[in-house]
Amino acid sequence: MKFSNAFIPTTKETPKDAVLPSHIYLIRGGFINQVASGIYNFLPLGKIVLEKIKNIIKEELDSSGCQEVQLGFITPCELWEKSGRFSKYGKELLRFKDRKENCFVLGPTHEEMMVELVKNRVTSYKQLPLNLYQIHLKFRDEARPRFGLLRGREFVMKDGYSFHADEEDMKREYQLMEDTYKKIFNRLGLNFRVVEADVGAIGGSGSKEFMVLANSGEDTIVICEQCNYAANIEAAKRKKRVPPTEAPEFSGFSKFHTPNVTTIEDLSKFFHIDPYYLLKAVAKKAIYDDKEEIVVFFLRGDDELQETKAANAVGANELVDASEEELKDAGLVPGYIGPYDLKVKYIIDIDLKDEKNLICGANEKDYHLIGCDLEKLENVIYKDIAAIKEGDLCPKCGGKLTLTKGIEVGHIFQLGTRYSEPLNALFLDENGKSKPFVMGTYGIGVSRLIAAIIEQSHDEKGCIWPRSVAPYLVDIVVSNIKDNEQMEFAKTLYDDLLNENIEVILDDRNERFGFKMKDFELIGFPFAVIVGKSLNEGSVEIVDRKTLEKIQIPKEEVLEYLLHKLNR
Ligand code: ATP
Ligand code: MG
């Protein structure tokens, strides 16, 4: 490609709402442009990177036996009603009607469509297993689209679905997909972790996410310093905590006057007792399909509630804050809530199971209970609802857990019969018995990956593309296009590189040298060859974008040098 012919509208302007490097550089580098909130065009450079990522994904999936299909982006509401997701999915699902009043949604994910495709076409165990995928558009009307391609409304996803005769075979495929995804993300040059993930209300027996480690990530992940344990904070576990101090001693279980002592901090000061021994109450409004209710979650005073775990613990779709009014209506006394004689549903964190010598609210203004023994409570539900924090201990090996941020770029999920059953997708097993398919589902955020790569690979000047996805590998920058010798040399090198199948761009624009170099740095091609004044002395300069190191190379050796550098 000749730069003078290319449509690469680089700009110095930083978009107003852009805070992350990937968002800023992808727009400034002329890779993408925003059409509307969360909707982007891909310009030629962006499209090349997108296609390269797609190809890597396709190569690895195909070699693992998956088959590519392409389903309609627009999907009939009827299917969503059958699976029960039409009402559940909420506002992210964009619904509309056609001229004949038929209801449709823009596909946010395609379980229903894929089951429908396979249903009645695959009817026997002999046709199983099957793993079908597509790399295609998705639309989710996200509440807060942001960070450019990281959280769009329209985005490109690889979504795959596998069909099996039994759990065991589905688990084999799940492992194969984990291994395949690792190969894909390694080829993309990413520093990532595979983490245990929340399986949510669907249940399912297992789920893992692929997290690109980056400070800008929206997910918090928990990593063991000692072993390979890693989990999304929404699913992370820990060993039972070690008491920070000796347990307090109380003469018995009794009510204690604690006027205006309503926070854990005040309570800890008032009794001179470590918050570990205090019961913290977090009241939330749990939203279900058909109702809402106030639920109280009890934790140690120095633990925090993990809302996803807490929502799962009560089977709610989500938890929202309850107003003071709603709490009072439910008979709660804010600041003094405790589990004894509580009138609403409550859950106690698993770390507190059967603990003694605690202090908790008395459900009466200005009073707490001391010397509480949870064993004495009846029908208590203990669940893991606390957020893991730095320094908690690994559930696997007891090592120290640390927290870090990640960008979710992939997700694999053991689905079971969650969709095949309601959609009545059946096959005949070896004994002629009709059974629903056992399924797995596997996603990759393809357009999100473009941004994730740059979040991990940039400097203050711009993008630094890994070679596997760089839009061009070499940028030949002609310092002065009016200099015939420079142009001749550059063109010959350009042709030679093309002959070697190396993607090369020739910057033959009638622009200042500094301007062209700024574009090289902003766009982030792996190498620049500067054809300038030193050509008179028989040499050119090669710049490595990653290190910005420059070396002078005799002009006869440039081709060989680049081939060597690019492992050709
Ligand atoms: P998130 O938690 O980030 O909202 P998700 O768990 O809803 O993602 P999945 O349904 O698992 O996403 O979708 C599979 C993959 O699609 C994700 O791993 C992610 O990489 C990508 N993805 C999801 N939502 C978006 C989005 N709004 N913009 C870009 N990519 C997305
Ligand atoms: Mg996910």
pLDDT tens digits along 34-92 = 999 999 999 999 999 999 999 999 999 999 999 999 999 999 999 999 998 898 888 99
Q: Is residue 195 part of a domain?
A: yes
27 is a domain residue = no
Contact 509, 3 (CB under 8 A): yes
Nearest residue (CA) to ligand 1, atom 11: 411
Residue 15 lies in a domain: no
Query: From ligand 2's centre to the CA of 209, what distance in Å?
Result: 7
How many domains is the chain partitioned into structurally? 3
User: Is 175 among the domain residues?
Assistant: yes
Report the mean per-residue pLDDT for the chain: 96
Give the mean model confidence (pLDDT) for residues 280-307: 96
Are residues 369 and 276 part of one domain?
Answer: yes
Residue 18 domain-assigned (yes or no): no
- pLDDT single digits (tens) 105-116: 999 999 999 999
Judged by its nearest atom, the ligand closest to the C-alpha of residue 53 is 1
Q: Which domain holds residue 551?
A: 474-565
Are 187 and 54 within one domain? yes
DSSP string for 310-327: HHHHHT-SEEEEPPHHHH
Q: Average pLDDT of 512-521?
A: 98
Q: Is pLDDT above 70 for 271?
A: yes
Statement: residue 200 has pLDDT above 80: no
Judge contact between 303 and 240, C-beta under 8 A.
no
With the C-alpha atoms ordered 177, 183, 185, 191, is the resulting torsion angle positive or negative? positive
Q: What is the CATH number of the domain that holds 133?
A: 3.30.930.10
- Answer yes or no: is pLDDT of 202 > 80: no
- Asked if the peptide bond before residue 275 counts as cis, ω within 30 degrees of 0, the response is no
Cα 150 from chain centroid (whole Å): 9
Does residue 207 lie in a domain region? yes
Alpha helices by DSSP H, 290-436: 307-314, 324-329
> Is there a single domain that holds both residue 266 and residue 347?
yes
Long-range contacts of 417-423 (CB under 8 A, 24+ apart): 418/202, 418/203, 418/204, 419/83, 419/111, 419/112, 419/115, 420/115, 420/163, 422/82, 422/83, 422/84, 423/79, 423/82, 423/83, 423/112, 423/115, 423/116, 423/119
Distance 198 CA to ligand 2 centre (A): 8
Q: 352, 383, 414 — which closes off a domain? A: 383
Among protein residues, the one whose CA lies closest to atom 21 of ligand 1: 445
For residue 181, how far is its CA from the centre of ligand 1 (angstroms)? 15
- 353 Cα: distance to centroid of ligand 1 (angstroms): 35
Is residue 235 within 8 A of residue 229, CB to CB? The reply is no
| Contact call for residues 85 and 110 (beta carbons, < 8 A) | no
* Within-domain flag for 20: no
Mean pLDDT of 474-495: 97
The residue whose CA has the least distance to atom 8 of ligand 1 is 408
Token pair for residue 401?
């857990």
Instruction: Assess whether pLDDT exceeds 60 at residue 203.
Output: no
Domain containing residue 376: CATH number: 3.90.960.10
Minimum-distance ligand to the CA of 158?
1
Kindly report the CATH number assigned to the domain that includes residue 513.
3.40.50.800
